[in-house]
């Protein structure tokens, strides 16, 4: 074996060892969550083994029933779907307008949207609650969905505007010659090309909505309207926590979002790594 | 395309329409106590069977989110019929002054104060504004305690026996002797969540009452006695002695109370300094744990040692509620003996009703037995400023880790106190 081969093997081993340690750091908490979900309240603090001696699969069933996950799960699916669709539609329309249209106060409006990202959510709780109450939207699904769309808009508009700014205008000109309207250009040309950026927006906002609880607690009173995170609260007392059931609940709550990530990871990586820049190759592929 | 968007908008607007009408035979209660929801629901069902009035307990946890919801609802004028205020007494005062909280004094004093007499006075004190209070609230009782708490010391019976200790120590010197015996058999002595400042403050306050009495403590807060006074140095010295005798568990100054509770529940430490809520926590972690409750061992100083305690959770009645009378009637019912015993058995918290004590499990009885010996910053006429308290608590932590002496800390705290006074004086002269 020559020195180059040795160097290559050493380099590769070091790289793989580093990547493996990073992967382990990410995966270990998930493993620990599932492991703790399979223990009892008595053994969770005592048993330090990686795989518990007695596996309590019944914890998942108990957590589902006690946390009333059936209703909350459906609510979360509804909120996540509605909010993500809302954000994608509104932010892409807004971003496309900011990128392509000329209208008075365009920059001021854009900076206002961007500035909205700087306001921490708890800072806006009281005015938001008063506003929603005046609109009779407190304790309604619609009110919560509107608020959550509002939360996700700023970042999504910023991401998509950057994307549309870099997108060459030739395609739109060609479509315009074919008789496409402004709305048609957005729907038929801009949106399909923005798929990687939209994938990033979808996963970021799905995660955000799926894990959201504070705004839901503020705006919703009716238990039947609450999202999945409300179910997890059942296992956390002010002073005591039922760890196995909480971990089982967390596993149930995390599973769908993991699936969404796995399903969309190709687009997400593309969206993030390419900086969402359009290339001529893509245009060729599109036509 | 336009049709599609219009349809979606119409559906969304329709989904948002409609408000729930207020039922005159229903009471809505907002609370934050996750571990009491099941018991509350059972009581609500019982109350409905007895009176036909539906009580809806709505849970919003954790407590900080709950507090934000209450503040937002107050501003929007949509508070429920019954709610709790978790913030400081000054915040409660602002709620009262804004007209959100009903004055319950008359109700408490009806029929020769039968309701008032049934509740622990220390628990009521937290919800009472005295004549001449600094918040300038009309004197009266504005809240109903549903349970009480206090902070004491706990001992592990098995570990004490292992060290040959038959009875828990009563005096500070006996405690130090017990610490030596435990060390000989390799058992760590005392654990507490002293990573949280309020618990350090609580322990120090116990001994401050013991060493110098309430009057001198309040005089210190008013700036009439310096922290460099020998009595305050003695209070700080307690921590130095505990450190020197090896009576503190390793890492105690960095420990959150949750971890300290684990240590005691899993029988790793012989003594713990913790609140009465720990009965619930220890039961969840280790139902077989054999332990007892004791007052922190007093020094031979002349004043009685006082522990922190008072109302655990309290409810207020919305002054603008359409069912105010029904809400008050329900609170009277839930604080009656039978319901208090039920709540106590189900949730393992101490009842606010004194008559319920006789029917409690032994460990809760032991905790409740010290209620007459309690005090709390919320009922003191004056409190120390946050800056000075922080300097004091951090100073104690420095003593425990051997960084500073009690004299150094006393001087530093006094400097912070004087700086605060000078600053306040500058502001008033400007």
DSSP one-letter string for B298-355: B-S-SSPP-EEEEEEEEEEEBTT-TTHHHHHHHHHHHTSHHHHHHHHHHH--EESBGG
Helix or strand run (H / E) with residue A163:
helix A141-166
Q: Is residue A69 part of a domain?
A: yes
Please say if the pLDDT value at position B21 is more than 80. Answer: no
- Our count of domains for chain A comes to 1
Tell me, yes or no, whether B333 and B293 share the same domain: no
B111 and B257 both lie in a single domain: no
Q: Per the structure block, which two tokens stand in for A28?
A: 């270990």
Neighbours of A286 (CB within 10 A): 11
Domain identity same for B129 and B178: no
| pLDDT bucket at B8, cuts 50 / 70 / 90 | low
- Taking an 8 Å cut-off on Cβ atoms, the answer to whether B73 and A238 are in contact is no
pTM, to two decimals: 0.81
Q: Can you tell me the mean pLDDT for B40-59? A: 96
Q: Give the ipTM of the model, two decimals please.
A: 0.76
Give residue-wise pLDDT tens across range B348-378. 899 999 989 888 888 998 998 898 899 999 8
Q: What pLDDT band is residue B159 in, cutting at 50, 70 and 90? A: very high
- Domain for residue A39, yes or no? no
- Does residue B409 share a domain with residue B279? yes
Mean pLDDT lowest for which of A117-121, A227-231, B47-51, B96-100?
Answer: A117-121
Q: Is residue A286's pLDDT more than 50? A: no
Strand boundaries in B100-189, DSSP class E = 128-129, 140-141, 144-156
**A246 vs A33, A62, A221, A268, A276, CA distance in Å?**
9, 10, 23, 30, 38
**Does B51 fall in a domain?**
yes
Q: Are A118 and A158 in contact (CB under 8 A)?
A: no
Q: At residue B296, does pLDDT exceed 90?
A: yes
Query: What is the nearest CA distance from A236 to chain B, expressed in angstroms?
Result: 7
Return the minimum-mean-pLDDT range out of A254-258, B40-44, B259-263.
A254-258
Residue A276: which pLDDT band, with cuts at 50, 70 and 90?
very low
CB atoms within 10 A of CB A75: 21
Beta-carbon separation of A126 and B71 below 8 A? yes
Cα four-point dihedral sign A195, A196, A197, A200: positive
**Per-residue pLDDT tens digits for A135-165:** 999 999 999 999 999 999 999 999 999 999 9
Judgement on whether residues B295 and B341 belong to the same structural domain of the protein: no
**Residue after which a domain boundary falls, among B379, B397, B418:** B379
* Residue partners of B52: CB distance under 8 A and separation at least 6: B25
**Residue B425: what pLDDT?**
78
pLDDT of residue B5: 55
Tell me, yes or no, whether B220 and B329 share the same domain. no
In a domain, A104, yes or no: yes
Mean pLDDT of B22-40: 91
Q: How many residues does chain A have?
A: 287
**Nearest CA among A224, A251, A247 for reference residue A235:** A247
Binned at pLDDT 50, 70 and 90, residue B184 comes out as very high
Question: Nearest-CA neighbor of A41 among A56, A30, A61, A28?
Answer: A56
Is B60–A217 a contact, with Cβ atoms under 8 angstroms apart?
yes
Interstrand relation of B291-294 and B82-83 (parallel, antiparallel or unpaired):
unpaired
Q: Are strands B190-191 and B144-156 parallel, antiparallel or unpaired?
A: unpaired
CB contact under 8 A, A239 and B71: no
Cβ <8 Å between A130 and B286: no
**Residue B12, pLDDT score:** 52
| pLDDT score of B249 | 96
CATH of the domain at B297: 3.40.190.10
Angle at A240 between CA A236 and CA A244, to 5 degrees: 65
End-to-end Cα spacing for chain B: 66
Q: Is the pLDDT of residue A281 over 50?
A: no
The answer to whether residue A275 scores a pLDDT higher than 60 is: no
Do both B358 and B302 map to the same domain?
Answer: no
- The pLDDT value given to residue A271: 64
State the smallest CA–CA distance between residue B215 and chain A in angstroms.
Answer: 33
CB nearest A142 (choices: B16, B62, B265)? B16
Q: Let me know how long chain B is.
A: 430
B137 lies in some domain: yes
Same-domain status, B295 and B423: yes
**So what's the pLDDT on residue B62?**
86
Compute the distance between CA of residue B123 and CA of residue B148 in angstroms, rounded to an integer. 6
CB distance B347 to B35 below 8 Å: yes
Determine the structural domain holding residue B119 and report its residue range.
23-148+311-379
Boundaries of domain holding A151: 63-286
Q: Is the pLDDT reported for residue A254 higher than 80?
A: yes
* B11, part of any domain: no
Residue among A41, A218, A237 whose CB faces B69 most closely: A218
Nearest CA distance, A19 vs chain B (angstrom): 33
Q: What dihedral angle (degrees, nearest 10) is formed by the CA atoms of B284, B288, B291, B292?
A: 80
- Identify the band that residue A263 occupies on the pLDDT scale cut at 50, 70 and 90: confident
Query: Which of B147, B71, B141 is CA-nearest to residue B314?
Result: B147
Residue B409 inside a domain? The answer is: yes
**Domain-located, residue A226:** yes
Percent of all residues in chain A with a pLDDT value above 70, rounded to a whole number? 93
User: Is the pLDDT score of B13 beyond 80?
Assistant: no
Residue B145 sits at φ, ψ, to 5 deg, of -70, 135
- By the 8 A CB rule, do A218 and B72 touch? yes
| Shared-domain flag, residues B255 and B396 | yes
| Average of per-residue pLDDT across A234-263 | 87
Is A206 a member of any domain? yes
Contact A237 B34 (CB under 8 A): yes
pLDDT-derived band at B177, boundaries 50, 70, 90: very high
More confident site: A47 or B183 = B183
Burial A243-263 (b: 16+ CB within 10 A, else e): bbbbbbbbbbbeebbeebeee
Of all residues in chain A, the one with the smallest CA distance to B2 is: A183
CB B312 within 8 Å of CB B332:
no
- A188-243: pLDDT as tens digits: 999 998 988 898 899 899 999 999 999 999 999 998 999 999 998 888 877 778 89
pLDDT at A285: 40
The answer to whether residue A78 is domain-embedded is yes
pLDDT tens-place string over residues B274-291: 999 999 889 888 889 999
Tens digit of each residue's pLDDT (9 = 90 or more) over A13-67: 999 999 999 999 999 999 999 999 999 887 888 888 888 888 999 999 999 998 8
B397: closest CA among B191, B239, B189?
A: B239
B13 within domain boundaries: no
Q: How many domains does chain B have?
A: 2
Interface test with A, best of B18, B61, B312, B348 (most A CBs within 10 A): B61
Both B299 and B419 in a single domain?
Answer: yes
Provide, rounded to the nearest whole percent, the portion of chain B with pLDDT above 90.
77
- Strand B26-31 relative to strand B54-59: parallel, antiparallel, unpaired? parallel
Q: What's chain A's average pLDDT?
A: 88
Q: Of the candidates A97, A273, A89, which has an alpha carbon nearest to the alpha carbon of residue A198?
A: A89
What letters, b where the CB count within 10 A reaches 16 and e where it falls short, cover A84-109? bebbbebbbbbbbbbbbeeeeeeeee
Indicate whether A279 pLDDT > 50. Answer: no
Together in a domain, B107 and B211: no
CA distances from A160 to A167, A191, A276, B29, B181 (A): 10, 10, 9, 45, 70
Does A228 map to a domain?
yes
Q: Is residue B9 part of a domain?
A: no
Q: Is residue A22 part of a domain?
A: no
Mean pLDDT of the B100-117 span: 96
Q: What pLDDT, on the 0 to 100 scale, is given for residue B163?
A: 96
Distance CA B412, CA B390 (A): 11
CATH code at position A198: 1.10.3720.10
Contacts A214 to B, Cβ<8 Å: 65, 68
């Amino acid at each position: 074996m020559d020195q180059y081969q040795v160097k290559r093997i050493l380099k590769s081993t070091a790289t793989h060892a580093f990547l493996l340690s990073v992967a382990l750091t990410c995966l270990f908490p998930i493993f620990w969550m599932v492991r703790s979900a399979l223990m009892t309240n008595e053994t969770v603090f005592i048993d330090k083994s990686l795989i518990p001696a007695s596996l309590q699969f019944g914890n998942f069933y108990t957590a589902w029933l006690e946390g009333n996950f059936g209703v909350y799960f459906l609510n979360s699916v509804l909120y996540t779907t509605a909010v993500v669709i809302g954000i994608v539609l509104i932010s892409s329309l807004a971003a496309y307008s900011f990128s392509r249209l000329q209208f008075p106060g365009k920059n001021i409006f854009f900076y206002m949207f961007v500035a909205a990202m700087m306001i921490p959510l708890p800072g806006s709780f009281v005015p938001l609650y008063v506003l929603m109450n005046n609109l009779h939207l407190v304790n309604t699904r619609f009110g919560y969905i509107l608020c959550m769309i509002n939360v996700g808009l700023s970042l999504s508009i910023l991401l998509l505007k950057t994307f549309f700014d870099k997108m060459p205008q030739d395609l739109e000109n060609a479509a315009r010659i074919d008789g496409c309207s402004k709305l048609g250009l957005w729907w038929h040309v801009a949106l399909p090309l923005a798929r990687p950026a939209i994938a990033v927006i979808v996963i970021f906002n799905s995660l955000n909505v799926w894990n959201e609880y504070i705004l839901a607690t503020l705006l919703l009173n009716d238990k039947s309207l609450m999202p999945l995170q409300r179910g997890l609260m059942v296992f956390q007392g002010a002073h005591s926590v039922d760890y196995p059931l909480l971990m089982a609940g967390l596993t149930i709550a995390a599973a769908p979002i993991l699936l969404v990530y796995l399903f969309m990871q190709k687009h997400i990586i593309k969206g993030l790594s390419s900086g969402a820049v359009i290339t001529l190759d893509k245009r060729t592929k599109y036509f | 395309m336009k049709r599609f968007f219009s349809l979606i908008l119409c559906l969304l607007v329709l989904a948002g329409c409609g408000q729930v009408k207020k039922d005159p035979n229903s009471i809505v209660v907002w609370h934050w106590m996750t571990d009491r929801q099941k018991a509350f629901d059972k009581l609500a069902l019982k109350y409905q069977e007895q009176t036909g009035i539906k009580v809806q307990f709505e849970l919003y946890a954790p407590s900080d989110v709950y507090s934000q919801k209450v503040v937002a609802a107050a501003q929007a004028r949509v508070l429920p019929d019954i709610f709790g205020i978790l913030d400081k007494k000054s915040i409660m005062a602002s709620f009262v002054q804004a007209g959100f909280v009903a004055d319950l004094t008359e109700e408490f004093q009806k029929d020769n104060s039968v309701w008032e007499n049934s509740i622990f006075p220390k628990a009521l004190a937290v919800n009472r504004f005295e004549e001449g209070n600094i918040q300038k609230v009309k004197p009266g009782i504005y809240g109903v305690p549903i349970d009480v708490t206090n902070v004491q010391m706990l001992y592990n019976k098995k570990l004490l026996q292992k060290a040959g200790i038959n009875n828990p120590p009563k005096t500070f010197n006996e405690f130090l002797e017990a610490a030596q015996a435990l060390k000989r058999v390799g058992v760590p002595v005392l654990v507490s969540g002293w990573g949280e400042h309020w618990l350090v403050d609580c322990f120090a306050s116990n001994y401050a009452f013991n060493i110098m009495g309430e009057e001198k403590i309040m005089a210190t807060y008013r700036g009439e006695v310096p922290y460099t006074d020998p009595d305050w140095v003695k209070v700080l010295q307690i921590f130095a002695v505990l450190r020197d005798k090896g009576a503190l568990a390793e890492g105690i100054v960095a420990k959150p109370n949750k971890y300290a509770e684990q240590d005691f529940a899993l029988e790793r430490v012989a003594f713990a300094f913790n609140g009465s809520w720990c009965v619930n926590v220890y039961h969840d972690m280790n139902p077989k744990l054999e332990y007892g409750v004791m007052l922190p061992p007093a020094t031979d100083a002349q004043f009685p040692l006082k522990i922190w305690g008072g109302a655990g959770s309290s409810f207020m009645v919305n002054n603008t509620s359409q069912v105010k009378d029904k809400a008050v009637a329900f609170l009277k019912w839930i604080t009656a003996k039978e319901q208090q015993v039920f709540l106590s058995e189900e949730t393992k918290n101490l009842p606010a009703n004194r008559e319920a004590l006789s029917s409690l499990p032994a460990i809760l009885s032991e905790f409740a037995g010290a209620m007459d010996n309690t005090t709390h910053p919320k009922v003191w006429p004056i409190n120390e400023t946050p800056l000075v308290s922080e300097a004091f608590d951090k100073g104690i932590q420095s003593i425990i880790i051997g960084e500073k002496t009690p004299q150094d800390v006393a001087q530093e705290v006094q400097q912070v106190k004087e700086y605060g006074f000078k600053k306040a004086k500058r502001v008033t002269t400007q």
